[in-house]
Structure 1
C-alpha cells in the first residue's frame, strides 16, 4: 500500500518517538486558550481553535488582519491594506463571522450579498496584541448572534503583561512591509504607582494599498493612528478595578479610478479623487473579582461603548464625445456607515466537586444595544444643471439584545463532558422612520436557544478523542429587513432590492469529530467537520417581468432552505531537538447550497510546511505554502447582472524565509522575505464569487520583504 505524504510523516514521527523514548525529550511550550470563557490547554479543547501570538505577528512584520491569519487552513482573509478585509472560516464569511476584541464585539462590515466589499472588518489597530484565537465553527452558545460560522477573539496586552515584577517598562518599535510599502511606528509605556498600573499605547503608519503581482491596481495612499490608555487599580488582592479607552483612525486617498456607470452610455474618466476614513472610539470600565470563600471563583464585569464610523467621498469628472460635441459631467458620491454599540456583561466562573465529578462552571449575562445607519448622497453636475439625490440602502435601525448563558465542563475519570446553552432575546426597530421608499418598516422580535455539547475521552496521558456539537445563529440583519437598494443604473437588467419584514434568523448546526495527541514533543491534531445552515439569507429575484413604469426588476433577501459545508483539517508539529522543530498543516472545505450548487466561499486543499531553528537569541524559519487548483465553483453575475462563470484558480506553491535576533540589551530585530521565488498566483479566497473575467487584478504580490525592530528600555 502506498502511503500519502501526511501518513508517511505521521508514521515517521511516531517511530522516532519509540526509538528515542529513553533519550532526552524536547518540549513545546504549552498554549492556553480562553475562547470558551474557561482557560484550557489547546490540546484539551474539544474543538478546533487556531492561536496566533503577538510575538508571531511582530516577528513576521504583520500589520493587517490579512497578514495575521493567512496561513491557517480553513481560515482566510480577503482584502488587504487600503481595501476592506473580511475573514472566512470553513466556508462562512462577512458578518457571519463574529470578531470580539477584549470582550467587545467589533463593528459589522457592509457590502453586496454579505461579502462586505464596501466596508470590511478591519476597524481596529493590530499593535499591542497578546493573541488572536480563531474558533472554527459555530459558537453561539458562548457568543450569541453572529457566531454562526466562527469567532475571532482578539486580546490586547495589559499593564501587568509588560511590567511583571518591575515598576516601569517602555519600548519603541518600527515595522516595514513591502506588500504595501507601509511604515509603522509604535511605542508602549507601562508603569506602576502603588496600587495603580497604567499602559499607554501609540502607533502611526503610512503606506499604500496592498499590491498585486504586476503592481497595476489603482493606487491608494494610506495613513493612520492608533492610541490607547489602560488603567488598573488593585483595591485588594482579590479585587481589581479596570478601565480602558482606545482610538483608531485609518485614512485612504486615491487619485485614479474608473468612471461611474451611467444610464445614458459610456463615459471616460478625466479626473478622480476619493477620500475615505474609518474611525473607531471605544471605552470600558469594570472590575475583576477573585474572592476566597464564596460561591464563585472569578467574576469579570464591565460596561462598554464602541463607535465606528466610515465615510467615503468620491469625486469624478467624466467626459465623452456625443455627435461631435464634447460633454462633461461631474459626479460626487458620499457614503457613510455608523455602527454604535453600548453594552454591559458579567461573566462568572465556579469550580466544585460533586459525587466524584469535577465541575467547572461558567455563566453570565449580557445586555447590548446597537445603532446602524448608512446615509448616502449623490450629486450630478452637467449641462442639465445640478441634481441631488439623498438615499439610504436601509432604514436606520436600533437593536436590543439580552442574553444569559451557562456552560459546565464535567470531568469523570477519563471523560470530559461539556454542556452549555445560551438564550438570546433580540429586538430590532427602525430608529427614525416608519417607511423606506413607500415600504413599511416595523419592529421585529426574535429569540434563540443555542445549545452545545462535547464529549472527550482521554485515551492516554497524551492522546484524546472528542465529538462536539454547537448551534449557531444570526438574527436577521437590519440591512436585509429594512433594506431598499436601487440598482436602476445597471444596463439590461436594472433591479431594486426591497425590504422583507418576514425574515427569520439564520441557524447552523456544527458537528466535529477529532483527536489530539500532545506529549510535549509531538503534537498531532486532526478533525473532520460538518455544518448545516438553515434559513440562510440570500437575495432572490421576485419578479421576472420588468415593471411597466420603471423597467426595473425586483429582488428581495429571503430565507432559503440551507447550505452545507464539510471538510477536514490536520496539523503536525515535532521538536527534533532543543533548537530544531518541524510542522505542517493541511485543510479542505467543500459544500453545496439547496440547489446542489457549490458554495461561493469554499477552500481547496491547502496547507504549509515549516522548519524552524530557535536558540532563544537567534531564530530562523523556512515555510512552503501551497494550494490545489479550484474549479468547483458556482455561477456568478457580472456587472451587468448577466450570469457567467465564477472565477477558478490554478494550483500554486510559494516559499517564505525569516530570521530574528534578540540582543541581551533589549533590541529585537526580525526580517522576512515572502514569496522568495517571485511566484505569480491567485488565492481562490481572493476571487471567490466574482466573475472569471474580473480576476486579472487579484494576483498575490511578488517577492517582498518585511523588517521589524523593537527596543525595550
Structure 2
C-alpha cells in the first residue's frame, strides 16, 4: 500500500498548496484547468469549475504537445480512463471508471457513433473509433452516467469529439485565408503522417478543408521471439494506410441565422499476417477495409422569443462499414478457405435544442429542452468460400435490423443564490428494433420496443471565492446491443450453440458523486469521490447441454455491479509558488477505483474491467516568449492485488495473470524557429521499461505463452513539423 499512499499524499499536498495564499484571487493571465469550457456536460457552455460533474477537456493544443498519433495516445495521461488494446478491428473501446464498450457513448459533433462488437472470432469483430485526431478541436470526457441528457449508451460516461471549424484558424473579423502543412513520424509503428489544412472567410462565408494521410505498420512490442504460433513475442505484422477528409462551409445569413454544412470521409485498409492465432494456421492472412462517411446540416437561430432565446438543430446522415476478408490455408479436415464478413450501419439523425433564460420568483433559470431521433439500419453478411470444393455458404449472425430511437429532454440550471446553483434534468427515451427476414438468418425473429425515464440532480456551492463543492445524482441506462439480442451460432461439428434473446431488458445505473474544487493564483485542484451501482447487466449464461453439444449459451440480464473510487487532479504554477522560472508548472492526477459484481445470487467477484491505481505527474516549462517549451511526464501504475482480480474470465481451474506495476517517463519538446514554423519531438518510455497494460492481460491465465507479444513499445521517438501560411 506504500505506492498508493505516496501518490495520494502527493496529490493532496499539491491541491492544498493552491489554497495556501487565502481567498484573494490574483490575476495572472494564466488559464487553469478549471477555466476550460465544456459544452457536453450540460449541453451549454460552462467552465469546468461551475459544473456538477467530473469532466476532462483535452484541446487541440494539448493533443499536439503530447504528439498523439491516435485515440489511445490522446488519452494515455487521463487516470480513470483506459483505452482497450488494439485488436484486428483497431482500438477496441474506451473504458471510463470501469465501464467500457458500448456502455460509453461516443459522439462526433453530437453524432452518435457506430456500435462495436467482438464475436470471439478473429475474423468477426468491429470497432467504433472512426476518427482522425488531426481534425479535432477538442475531446470532452464526462465521467459517470449521463443518460438524462444523451440517452442510451451514456451509462458509463461520454467521450465527445468536436471537430475544428474555419473560425479556429481565421482572425476574428474580416476576410482572411489560412493554410498549413504538417508532417510527422513515429518510430513505434514506423508511422508517417501528412496533414493539409486550408481555411477561408469571404464576406459572410467561411470554408475549411482538412486532409490527413497516414501510413503505418504494427505497433512494436518490447522484445520477444519472432516466431509463429501463440508463443510469438512480437506483434503480428501489418501494413496499413488511411485517408481522412473533413470539409466545412458555414454561412451567416443575417444577424440571427447561421447555417453550416459538413462532409467527412474516412477510409482505411489494413493487411495482416495473423501469425499468433492459436486456432488458425500461422500463414493466415487478413485484408480489412473500414469506412465512415457523414453529411451534416446545422442551423442556429438567435430568436429571442417567448418560447426560446436560441434554437440549434441538425440533420445528419452517416454510414460506416467494416469489411473483413480472412484467407485461411488448409488444416485438419478443412480445405483452403476464405471468410468474408461485412458489417454496416447507416443512420439518419435529427436533433434540436432550445435555450431560454428567464427570471422567476427572484431566481435565474437557464432552461434547455429538445429531442433526438436516430433511425439506423444494421446489415451483416458472412460468406465462407471453400476453395477445395469450389463451394460457398452464407449466414448472418444477426438479422438485418431497423432501429428507431428517440428521446426528449429538459434541464433547468437554477441560480438560487450567488453561491448556490442547482441543476435538475430529466429525459425519456424509447427504442424499437425491427428485424427483417433474410435467407442467411433463420432464427425466429421478434420485434422489440422499450422506454426508459432517467433523471439527474446536480448542485454547485461556492464555499468561498476560491473554493467550491459539488454533488450530483444521475441515472443511466443501456439498451441491449443487437449482437446480444439476436446473435445465433449453431456449430454441431464443434459441439457449441449460441441462442438469441430478443427479450433482454435495458441495463440501468444509479450514480452518486461528491467533489471539492479550488482555484487561485497558485493553481487549481479537484477531488471527486463516486459510487456507481448497476443492475440488469447482460452477461453470458451457460444453459443445460443437449445431445451433440458440449456448450449452449445465451445472453441474459443476470448481473449487478457496483464501482466506487476517488480521483484527484491538480495544477500548480511553480513560478508563483516557489519563485521558479516564469512558465514553470507542475500537474498531477491520481485515480483509484474498486468494483465488484455478481450473477444472480452467486458470490460477488471483483470486476476485472476496473483499471488499477494510476497516477500521472508532469513538470512543464513554457518560455514566456512562446518560442519553445518542454514537459517531462511520469506515469505510475500499480499492480492489481489478488483480492482485486476475478478468475471468471479465464478457463475453469486457472488463475488470471496479473502483470507487474510499472513506471514510465516521457519527454516532449517544441521549438518555433520562425513564427510560422513549429517543430516538435518526443521521447517516450525514456528508460526503455518493459511493461504490460492491465487491459492486455485480461482474460489470459498464468499458463499463457505469448505475454511478450502483449507488451508495450520500448524506447521510441516521434517528430513533427508544421508550417502555417
Q: Does 1:451 align with 2:460?
A: no
Q: Select the residue among 196, 217, 222 that pairs with 1:208.
A: 217
Q: Does 1:59 align with 2:57?
A: no
In structure 2, the residue matched to 1:362 is: 368
Q: How do residues 108-507 of structure 1 correspond to structure 2 at under 5 angstroms? A: 108-112=115-119, 118-164=125-171, 165=173, 166-214=175-223, 216-258=234-276, 261=279, 268-269=281-282, 271-292=283-304, 294-319=306-331, 329-382=335-388, 385-413=389-417, 414-433=419-438, 436-437=441-442, 439-486=443-490, 494-507=495-508
In structure 2, the residue matched to 1:99 is: 106
Q: Structure 1 residues 276, 145: closer, same or farther in 2, change over 3 A?
A: same
> Normalising by the residue count of structure 1, what TM-score does the alignment of the two structures yield?
0.92
Q: Structure 1 residues 519, 596: closer, same or farther in 2, change over 3 A?
A: same
Asked if the contact 2:281/2:328 (under 8 Å) is kept, the reply is no
Task: State the distance in 1 between where 2:144 and 2:451 align.
Answer: 21
Q: Structure 1 residues 67, 117: closer, same or farther in 2, change over 3 A?
A: farther
Q: Does 1:611 align with 2:629?
A: no
Deviation string for 1:609-666 (max 9, x for gaps)?
111101222110001001111132222455xx65532231211000000111234431
Q: Structure 1 residues 600, 9: closer, same or farther in 2, change over 3 A?
A: closer
Q: Structure 1 residues 309, 513: closer, same or farther in 2, change over 3 A?
A: same
Query: What SS does the aligned partner of 2:483 have?
Result: helix
Asked if the contact 2:185/2:719 (under 8 Å) is kept, the reply is yes
Task: State the distance in 2 between where 1:115 and 1:359 align.
Answer: 53
Q: Does 1:623 align with 2:617?
A: no
Deviation string for 1:575-596 (max 9, x for gaps)?
1224011011000121111231
In structure 2, the residue matched to 1:597 is: 605
Q: Structure 1 residues 514, 116: closer, same or farther in 2, change over 3 A?
A: farther
In structure 2, the residue matched to 1:84 is: 91
Q: Select the residue among 48, 71, 80 that pairs with 2:77.
A: 71
Give the CA deviation at 1:338.
Answer: 0.6
Deviation string for 1:138-176 (max 9, x for gaps)?
100111011111110100111111112351111111121
Task: State the distance in 2 between where 1:260 and 1:80 align.
Answer: 18
Q: Select the residue among 558, 563, 566 that pairs with 1:568.
A: 566
Q: Structure 1 residues 520, 103: closer, same or farther in 2, change over 3 A?
A: farther
Asked if the contact 1:200/1:227 (under 8 Å) is kept, the reply is yes
Deviation string for 1:393-439 (max 9, x for gaps)?
111211101211001111111111110011111111103349944x3
Task: State the distance in 2 between where 1:607 and 1:701 align.
Answer: 20
Q: Structure 1 residues 642, 485: closer, same or farther in 2, change over 3 A?
A: farther
Q: Structure 1 residues 260, 570: closer, same or farther in 2, change over 3 A?
A: closer
- Unpaired segments of 5 or more residues in structure 2? 225-233, 576-581
Task: State the distance in 2 between where 1:21 and 1:461 align.
Answer: 6
Q: How do residues 578-593 of structure 1 correspond to structure 2 at under 5 angstroms? A: 578-593=582-597
Task: State the distance in 1 between where 2:439 and 2:511 align.
Answer: 38
> Normalising by the residue count of structure 2, what TM-score does the alignment of the two structures yield?
0.90
Q: Structure 1 residues 389, 293: closer, same or farther in 2, change over 3 A?
A: closer
Mean Cα displacement is larger for which, 285-294 or 175-184? Answer: 285-294
Asked if the contact 2:72/2:91 (under 8 Å) is kept, the reply is no
Q: How do residues 521-670 of structure 1 correspond to structure 2 at under 5 angstroms? A: 521-543=522-544, 545=545, 547-548=546-547, 550-577=548-575, 578-594=582-598, 595-615=603-623, 616-631=626-641, 632-636=644-648, 642=652, 644-670=654-680
Task: State the distance in 2 between where 1:293 and 1:395 align.
Answer: 47
Q: Select the residue among 695, 701, 705 that pairs with 2:713.
A: 701
Task: State the distance in 2 between where 1:434 and 1:221 align.
Answer: 35
Asked if the contact 1:84/1:119 (under 8 Å) is kept, the reply is no
Deviation string for 1:67-111 (max 9, x for gaps)?
111111110111249633310111111111110100101111111
